[in-house]
Amino acid sequence: MKKLPLILLSLFFIISCNENNDKKTISTEREPNSFAIVIHGGAGGIKREYFTEEQQKAYAEKLQEALDAGYAVLEKGGISLDAVQAAINVMEDSPLFNAGKGAVYNSEGNQEMDAAIMDGKTLNAGTIAGVNHIKNPILAARIVMDSSSHVMLSGKGAEIMAEKYGIEMVDSSYFFTEKRMNQLKKIQGKEKTELDHTAYLIKNELIDDHKFGTVGAVAIDKTGNIAAGTSTGGMTNKKYGRVGDVPIIGAGTYANNLTCGISATGTGEYFIRTVASHEVSSLIKYKKYTPSEALNEVLFNQIGPLGGEGGMILLDKYGDVYWDFNSTGMFRGFKKSNGESKVEMFEKSE
């Protein structure tokens, strides 16, 4: 019987050593000079059967082009803010996405675009809302952050400042695309064939009248600084003056070096009501959730029950990439300095 305490003590010592050894194998530090970028091109009723092979190829190639643009900045030692901006610029210049060139029409037949960018080190942020003559809204958001004492400028004021600092302005005709105009006409005329929730197929093109195509990026540079940015045209047929979650810091866009950077896409009103991006960060910081747990909690237990739909991309302070969505699909991809790279569009099990 005297030997029993000694045996138990020995077992406890062995188990403790094993646990400590296991903990050493779990990385809790970012590799020196490592970097990464993750992007999204919108979430919603995105199913493989809605796209021709040609359309799938076009989206995959444009997502890869955006990733490569942001990655190139980081690889050369550039800052995460510039990488985010470069990636989003590519998607804003493409009619494939609901941002910039491909922005949807509001109920008045005009574009009203929103954008945001945030620095995870300083918590500085710049956002714009309701603009319709700025070619690349993300550039204007950056100007608000870097060259003003404000966080958000809207409408005419945002455009005046953007033009003052040399941001390219365009006539509203630049944003015209037949696909987006057809969306507006079909929705306003209620001449649509329902396929899945808010997704419609008209002339072999996917129509989503709420949330399809918002773009975003999150990056971490070689110094470990995180930045996040998002750009959108909002919702087709939205009311004049409607502002979504994208330019509201903590709702659709957030970055904090203590936790992570996030860009969201979906039905913006629900991301605003749950302060979704900040909520994910807070769950990680205060409740010690893993990024995957935090994303799942917000998307499926907070936004979902309210009727909201969409997705979020996340890059944490260790340079690890995460994403989740409660819709049928989300355009997404990442590229890391360790060689890992991926572009996905449809179900999570791709």
| Active-site residue list | 214
Q: 3-state SS of 161-203?
A: HHHHCCCCECCHHHHCCHHHHHHHHHHHHCCCCEEECCEEEEC
Do 37 and 70 meet the contact criterion of CB atoms below 8 Å apart? yes
**265 a known binding residue?**
yes
**266 a known binding residue?**
yes
**Number of Cα atoms under 13 Å in the Cβ half of residue 17:** 6
**267 a known binding residue?**
yes
Instruction: Name the amino acid, one letter, at 4.
Output: L
**242 a known binding residue?**
yes
Please tell me whether residue 159 adopts helix, strand or coil conformation. helix
**268 a known binding residue?**
yes
137 secondary structure, DSSP code: H
Place of tokens 């205060």: 286
Instruction: Name the amino acid, one letter, at 334.
Output: F
Helices (H) and strands (E) in the chain, counts: 10, 15
Q: What is the DSSP string of 54-116?
A: HHHHHHHHHHHHHHHHHHHHHHTT--HHHHHHHHHHHHHTSTTSSSGGGPPP-TTS---EEEE
Report the alpha-carbon distance of residue 330 to residue 348 in Å, rounded.
9
E-state strands within 172-309: 194-196, 199-202, 205-208, 215-220, 226-232, 253-256, 260-266
Report the alpha-carbon distance of residue 10 to residue 19 in Å, rounded.
14
Please tell me whether residue 51 adopts helix, strand or coil conformation. coil
Report the alpha-carbon distance of residue 171 to residue 286 in Å, rounded.
47
Q: Which residue ranges are tagged as binding site for substrate?
A: 242-245, 265-268
Q: Which residue ranges are tagged as binding site?
A: 242-245, 265-268
